[in-house]
Amino acid sequence: MPRIALTSPSVGIRGLFEYRPETGAPLKRLAHILLHGESPLTKGERELIATAVSHGNGCKFCTMSHAAAARVHFGDQHDVVDAVVYRGDASQLSPLMRLLLEIAECVRIGGRSVSSELVAKARQVGATDRHIHDTVLIAAAFCMFNRYVDGLQAITPENTEEYLQMGDRMATLGYDIEVPNAAR
């Protein structure tokens, strides 16, 4: 049960965005830029970072919805998402992506956990400033999104099919879609 009286029947973070459109709109825009905007990381890689961070934070809604979106982006290799997130097996990923996921995990624990040595290792396998920047910002943003959803106990679907539909919509349309003017 949500901790505040939401004005929308929308589930998860969407209901929270609709509750407060003046904050919801820029947050949605941030998610869209991070996960669908220009980046050296593929959309699937960015969704995988968001999923891994959300799983580490124990946020069911964000884990399930972003895992579904990541699977869409990974296409025929969709099983890599579950291998990484639920089994801790990143062997199918490039050395660069494995290290970026380590950086994201360090951010999840606390930003100061990212060591110069870890960043140097990532650079040795091809990470650019932009790879590192985007990884850190996605991880940090998803810590905030996870806490937003869980802190207000947004409505979380129990039906896996709902997450599959959300994932398809998120992968296809992105996040910067219109939020109706909700009563405050």
CATH number of residue 27's parent domain: 1.20.1290.10
Do 15 and 8 contact (CB within 8 A), yes or no?
A: yes
In this prediction, residue 156 carries a pLDDT of: 86
CA separation, residue 70 to residues 78, 79, 163 (Å): 7, 10, 12
pLDDT score, position 128: 98
The answer to the question of residue 56 being in a domain is yes
Range of the domain at 38: 12-173
Sole residue written with tokens 């995990």: 105
Contact (Cβ atoms closer than 8 angstroms) between residue 32 and residue 174: yes
- 118 occurs within a structural domain: yes
Q: Is residue 181 part of a domain?
A: no
Closest listed residue to residue 30, CA positions, set 183, 181, 174 = 174
Question: For residue 6, is it within any domain?
Answer: no
pLDDT at residue 122, as a whole number: 98
User: CA-CA distance, 128 to 16, in Å (whole number)?
Assistant: 35
N-terminal to C-terminal alpha carbon distance within the chain: 18
How many structural domains compose the chain? Answer: 1
Q: Could you tell me if 95 and 76 are in contact, meaning their C-beta atoms sit under 8 angstroms apart?
A: no
The whole-model pTM stands at 0.93
Look at residues 146, 144, 147, 149 and name the one whose alpha carbon lies nearest to residue 6.
149
pLDDT at 180: 45
Question: Which residues of the chain have a pLDDT value below 70?
Answer: 1, 177-184
* pLDDT tens-digit series, residues 127-178: 999 999 999 999 999 999 999 999 998 888 888 999 999 999 999 999 976 6
Q: How far apart are CA 100 and CA 15, in angstroms?
A: 31
